[in-house]
Every structure is written in structure tokens, then in C-alpha cells.
Structure 1
Amino acid sequence: MFQKNIYLKIIFLLLLFIWRVNYCFSDSVLFQKISDFSCFGGYSFVTNYDDLASVSQSAIKFLQANKERLLSEGKIGSKLFKDDQSYLNKTLDSLERLSVLTRYSKNGEIDWKILEENFNFIHWSGDQNAALKHKVKLPDGSIRLTKYLVHMSSGSYYKTLKYSCALYQVPYDERDLTDLEIKNKKNDLIRLKYTKQEIINGALEKQDVKNKVAALVWITREDLEEAILQGTIVVKMPDGTIRSFNVHKSNEISYDRNITDKTEQKRYWFFREVNGIKGFGDSKKIDIKPNVCFAGDVKNIGLGMIIAIKYKNAVTQKDDIRIGILADTGGAFDENIYQLDFFTGTFENRDLFKSYIKQFPDFVEAYILFSK
């Protein structure tokens, strides 16, 4: 009997050890822990660690303040962890550690050995089957990397022939309502009655509605589409004032991946004026910065995840590594475990944006980092 108990204890300890080592993996095909770091040999870090630390701190504050609500609403999660609480605890610990390391880095650089000592590296292979459904052919072991910007435009305080489309605030009929009251009154809310096309054609300018909703700014149709697509827009007003706007609430019409012409998408976003550029969130959002932030699937990869991408720079022909934080999302990332969207900054036009992103390939190797 004694010998049998010893065997049972040994088996239990082995199972516990295996669980502690592999507790994070729910899909070993897409996410695999690496122990050989020779694949990073010859690569250079091209990350602004001050900006990375800033975003890390903002993500920590946001998660600490909103984690219970976000989990209960099913808005965040991660396939890398067995349960949501493990995901949140590990993500917060990882962000705290990254913040400390960046704060005390030498000359704005983190020694590679320090990263190895402090973080597990999980190689993320994009879901090829899911990608094929959307006509994206992924190379083995890679993910798709798209790039996004904050569009800078001009605008007007009033409607004109040139500036004929408005960024509207959330209508007054729901401003003082609780979330439960909004849910119960969905059939009556102005925000949910109209498509984007109907709003562009003046649905919110009609006599019975116009006093219940306010236009924040008037811009061109093209700039409106950019604002809705990117989620944020910076507008220079006629008097020289620079204003920033970020999405607040939508008309809850889903983004349709099968519609390639963005003007035909029916989703419309109501905006609000903000200070700075914002990422994920509702009333409070994560502050994001260029070149250290990704948008992606926050329900399956995980909001706040630290991600390193590895690629050959097409302009310099050097091997680069960038580290960023998953701090934003969008309609295109629902059940999308094969893609990240890299935030590149603010650009006045598409030509400048296209010139900047020439350095980035369409597919990269991605590694998710979390603390040991």
C-alpha cells in the first residue's frame, strides 16, 4: 500500500509539473513555446522603448480598471491560457515586467539575454485554414501583417459643399441611460436605426432628429471612410486648431468581410473628441503610440499581449525585430488568429503612408512574450 501511494504521488507531481509548464497552451499547433533562440541571431531591435513603456503602463491601468466588466461581457480572452483569470494575471505581470525593463534599459535598449531570462517566447503560427477562407495564403509558421494609420485631414465647423459628411456624437437619447436601459430600448435608439449610407444622405439632419444629435466636425466623404476604417482621425480646422476624434459606439451593423468596397459597408461609427490617439476601450481607452502597437483579435490572442515580429526590412535589407503590444481591435479581427494590424502613425495622405510601409513585408514571424 505504501509503495502504491508513493507511485501515485510521483504520478501526481509529474502531472502537476506538466500542467505548470504547459498551462498556457490550448492549441499546440498554433502556439509553441521555443527554447532555442538561435533563430534570432543577427537580428536588430528597432523598437522605441520609451513609447513601449508608455503603452505598457496605459494597458496596465486599463486592464486593472476594466478587467471584470470586459471578462463578464466576453470582450477579451486568450486561447493561450486555460482560463480567463490566468490570462489576465499573466498579462498584467508581463506588462509590469516589460515596463520595469524598459524603464531601466541602457541607452534605450534592452539586452536580448534579459528578455530570454524574463519571458517565455511562444511562436505563433497563423491559422492557415481560417486565412484561406478569406483568400489569404499564409506561409508556414507566419502571420499576416497589415498596417494602419491615423489619417490626418482638413475639416469644417459647418457643413459645406466640400465638407459634406459629419462625425456625429452618440445621440442624446441614450446619454443618461445605463447599459441595461440601452439594451432594453434598442428598438427605439436613434443610433441603431440607420445605415452609414442613410446617415450620409442626411437621415440625422431631418427635422425630427437633428436636435437630438450633434455633429462634431464636417469632413469629406473620403475622410469619413478613412475615419470609420481606422477608428481615429486627426482634423485640422480652418483656424489652425488640430482636433482628434475616436470611435465611441456604432450602429451595431457588423463589418462584412465579403464587401471589398469600403463605401458599401453599412456600419457607421459615432465618434467623440479625444486627447491623443486611442486604442481599445469604450469610455476609457488605451493610449497608443506609433510603431509599438498592434490591432488584432483580442478575444483569442489577448488584449495586452506583448508580441515580437521578426522580418527582413525591404528597404534596408537588414533583419529587424519589433516589439509591440496588442492594444486595439476592429471588426475584421473577429475570430482572426492569423493576422495583426501594425499602427504606423499619422499621415497626411496615402502616398506618404505607402512610402513608409515599404519596409514591412506582408507576412512575418510572430512571437508572443509572457513572463516566466
Structure 2
Amino acid sequence: MIFLMRFCFSLLFVIAISFHTFAQAPAGFFNLDKAPKLGKMASFKASELCDVADKTQSYLNQFTEDKFAVHAGKVFDESVTLVKVEQTLEFICQTYREDVREKRQSRLHDQEFLTTHFDFYRWTPDIATARKIALKSTNARKSSMLNAIPTDKIFLTKYYTKLLIASNVKTAVYNQALYSLPYDETGLTLAEANNDLTITRNKFTRQEVIAGVLEEKKLAKALIWLTEEALHDVLLQGTGVVEVNGQRRYFNVHRNNGIAYDYAIGKRDQARYWYFSEVPSIMGYGETLESKIAIRPQVSFAGNVDQLGLGKLFMVSYKQAGEEISRLGVLSDQGGAFDNNLFQLDLLVDSYFGWEDYHQANKDLPDYASAWLMLMKPPQKY
């Protein structure tokens, strides 16, 4: 999925930090931290981290032609390589499987094991870009949160897959369709369709679709019917987990109308519109629907795949209930809000019906966190 916006609640907590333990390594916003201060390793399952790592590594191996995502990263120097990224993901699963065979607690929750076997590159957020976006935003809360990003912490947002109630048929309540690709795109490759501005998908804005142009002209198949509010939510989130006549079904974005996401405006004003397809589970990044990575809550991050490169292992640390907590996750998803964004990660938390149950489950998670890129050390350093 993709996708991203999120709802923030805690107040700014700024901690001064000394940089004398840092040695310059990857260029720009990432620096080698020889003494990372880690908290209690919690809030994730090693089995699920391995699952996402394994599927993301498979994507890196199988889809080398995807130059948008499959690269070492555009913001690092030569110390970060694609080979190291793949070795890191492989090592995650190797460690998990060895621990299962030995019937011992996962070493991925052991601070000493992690600092022994991984290099940590501390992420310093791109504050300047965040401030520029804040100036343009029409959302006061969003501007406030962006302006409050500390110099030593990233903006840690949270996203969830929307639990929705839907209907197989149009009703007075469920009057907005989730559409599959328009009929005139059947059989076209992504490249062919993107280059043809005359096809239905490239013609209409979100507002025109909501007004009924596809239904009126019978241009696309309605997969299910939602309320308008639910439609805006699922277009933003990218994935819908839907209850239809008591059956749970999954829908994921397929292709959009080519209009960029505008970070400065709200969800209802976005002109970008997505067409969907039914899928077997929650899906993350993939150049095509068929290639998308199956992701899991609590161990999957969405972020700037274009600049960071797919498959990066990140650790984030923050205070929760007076205790320092650290957790691991894989960059396995992306979204329009991450274009030119090197100050934010978005954690997939779970599936919820709405703000109330989401907030209740995640109200103690902070809005900012220390963050590190992690790469497996060469064997000779063990």
C-alpha cells in the first residue's frame, strides 16, 4: 500500500543530543552511530518481521528492472549497497529460524546481539523540507506537527487499513463504488495504458468519479459499494479490509489517474483517484498489482522508497509510559505523501473501523522517534 496519512496526538518532546559518538558515513541525513542508545525491544514479533523481510527480499531479487525501488538508495554513499540490504534481510530470517530450531527467545529482541551484528546509521530528519511543506499546508494541525519535528527525531506517523462495511449493490447509504480498472484498459500493459491519455483512467478526477461519470457512462465495474466518507478513507489508505454480508474481503489500489497527491490539502480535496482490485491480504509496495509485497502490521514501514530504496531495515526508539521502547520494521510500502520526504516513516499498526478504535489502540504511541538504518556487519566484525 501504500499509503499514508495519519492522525497525530502527543505533544512535542524534545531531547538534546550529543553528536560526538557519530562518524560521518552515508551522505546527508544518515550518520554512523557507534554507540546507539537502544531501549527495550518490544511491540513486534520476530516471526512477522521475518515474513516481511523474506517477501521484500524476494521482490528485490525478482524485480531488478524496477529502478524506482530496487537500488541501494539515492541519499547514501558507497557504504550502503543493495547487496548489504539483501544480506541484512536474509540475516533477519536466518536468525529467527535458528532461534526457533534452538527453542530460544528471539535474538532480534536482544540489544547486545543487535549492536554486535549490525551497523546503525542515525537518521537526522530533513527539517528544512518539512518546514516548507508546513508553510504551504492548509491544515493547521498538520502544519503544527511538521513544524514541531525535533532536529534529532523523525516524524513517526501511523497508518492502518480501514475496516469497512460495504454492500454488493448500490443503496441510499452505500452509494459510492470502489471501481476496478475501466473496461477500455483491459489487456493493456501499464506502460501502454500510462502513455494513452485518451483512456478512461487518465481522464477523470476524484470529484468527477464521485459525481457519477463512470456509473452514468458504464465505463468500469463496481466491485463493492461504500459510503462517500469510507471511499475517501480507502483512497487515502490504499487498502480496504471490507465486511460484505459477513465475509471479510481485501481490496488494494491498482492504478491511478496520474494526478499527484498534494500533501498540503485534505483528503476530500485530492484530485488523485485510484482504481482497485481484490487481493488475498494486506499488500504493500509493488510496481504492479501482481508483484505487491504482502505486509504485516507492526513490522512494516511506508516511506520514501524512491530515495531510500526498498527493503531498508529501520529501528525506531521512543518513550512510552516512561520506558524507552525500540522496535524493528522493514521499508516495504510507500505513498504519495513521501515524495521528497526524508523526515518521516509511517508504521502500519493494524486494521480498524475508524478513528475511535484506532486512537484507543495507539494513543500511547508518540509522534516523533529516534531512527536508525541498520545493515548487517561484515562477518569478520562478529
Report the TM-score when normalising by structure 1.
0.86
Same amino acid, percent of matched pairs: 35
The letter of the residue matching 2:376 is S
Counterpart pick for 1:161 among 172, 178, 195: 172
> Deviation digits for residues 271-317 of structure 1, max 9, x if unmatched?
1001111100122111111111111100112211000000001xx32
Measured in 2, the distance between the counterparts of 1:92 and 1:141 equals 28
The letter of the residue matching 1:150 is T
What residue in structure 1 maps to residue 199 of structure 2?
Answer: 189
Tell me, what secondary structure is at the counterpart of 1:256? Answer: coil
What residue in structure 2 maps to residue 55 of structure 1?
Answer: 52
Tell me, what secondary structure is at the counterpart of 1:344? Answer: strand
Q: CA deviation at 1:168?
A: 0.6
What residue in structure 2 maps to residue 219 of structure 1?
Answer: 226
Q: Is the 8 A contact 2:184 2:199 kept in 1?
A: yes
Q: Is the 8 A contact 2:180 2:277 kept in 1?
A: yes
> Deviation digits for residues 87-114 of structure 1, max 9, x if unmatched?
3222111100111112223324432222
Q: How does 1:189-208 map to 2 (within 5 A)?
A: 189-207=199-217
Q: Is the 8 A contact 2:52 2:294 kept in 1?
A: yes
Larger Cα Rg: Structure 1 or Structure 2? 1
> Which protein, 1 or 2, shows the higher relative CO under an 8 Å CA cutoff with sep ≥ 6?
2
Counterpart pick for 1:304 among 299, 311, 326: 311
Measured in 1, the distance between the counterparts of 2:281 and 2:243 equals 14
Q: CA deviation at 1:131?
A: 1.0
Tell me, what secondary structure is at the counterpart of 1:181? Answer: helix
The letter of the residue matching 1:25 is P
Distance 1:291 1:299, change over 3 A: same
What residue in structure 2 maps to residue 361 of structure 1?
Answer: 366
Report the TM-score when normalising by structure 2.
0.83
Name stretches of at least 5 consecutive residues in structure 1 with no aligned partner: 1-21
Matched, 1:344 2:349: yes
Counterpart pick for 2:66 among 29, 46, 70: 70
Q: CA deviation at 1:78?
A: 1.3
Measured in 2, the distance between the counterparts of 1:206 and 1:75 equals 41
What residue in structure 1 maps to residue 114 of structure 2?
Answer: 115
Distance 1:311 1:180, change over 3 A: closer
Q: Is the 8 A contact 2:25 2:31 kept in 1?
A: no
Measured in 1, the distance between the counterparts of 2:53 and 2:299 equals 10
The letter of the residue matching 1:102 is Y
What residue in structure 1 maps to residue 15 of structure 2?
Answer: none
Q: Is the 8 A contact 1:122 1:367 kept in 2?
A: yes
Measured in 2, the distance between the counterparts of 1:204 and 1:94 equals 46
What residue in structure 2 maps to residue 251 of structure 1?
Answer: 257
What residue in structure 1 maps to residue 4 of structure 2?
Answer: none
Distance 1:180 1:255, change over 3 A: closer
Q: CA deviation at 1:76?
A: 5.9
Counterpart pick for 2:241 among 234, 243, 249: 234
Matched, 1:32 2:31: yes
Q: CA deviation at 1:23?
A: 10
Measured in 2, the distance between the counterparts of 1:93 and 1:44 equals 22
Tell me, what secondary structure is at the counterpart of 1:81? Answer: coil
Measured in 2, the distance between the counterparts of 1:289 and 1:177 equals 31
Distance 1:292 1:74, change over 3 A: closer
Q: CA deviation at 1:75?
A: 7.5
Which structure dedicates a bigger proportion of its chain to helix?
1
Measured in 2, the distance between the counterparts of 1:349 and 1:328 equals 21
Tell me, what secondary structure is at the counterpart of 1:158? Answer: coil
Matched, 1:170 2:181: yes
Q: How does 1:143-154 map to 2 (within 5 A)?
A: 143-154=154-165
**Superposition CA RMSD, Å:** 2.0
> Deviation digits for residues 306-340 of structure 1, max 9, x if unmatched?
00000001xx3221001001111111000100001
Runs ≥4 residues deviating over 6 A:
none
Q: CA deviation at 1:170?
A: 1.1
What residue in structure 1 maps to residue 280 of structure 2?
Answer: 275
Measured in 2, the distance between the counterparts of 1:349 and 1:183 equals 34
The letter of the residue matching 1:222 is E
Q: Is the 8 A contact 1:165 1:220 kept in 2?
A: yes
What residue in structure 2 maps to residue 265 of structure 1?
Answer: 270
The letter of the residue matching 2:344 is Q
Measured in 2, the distance between the counterparts of 1:150 and 1:74 equals 23
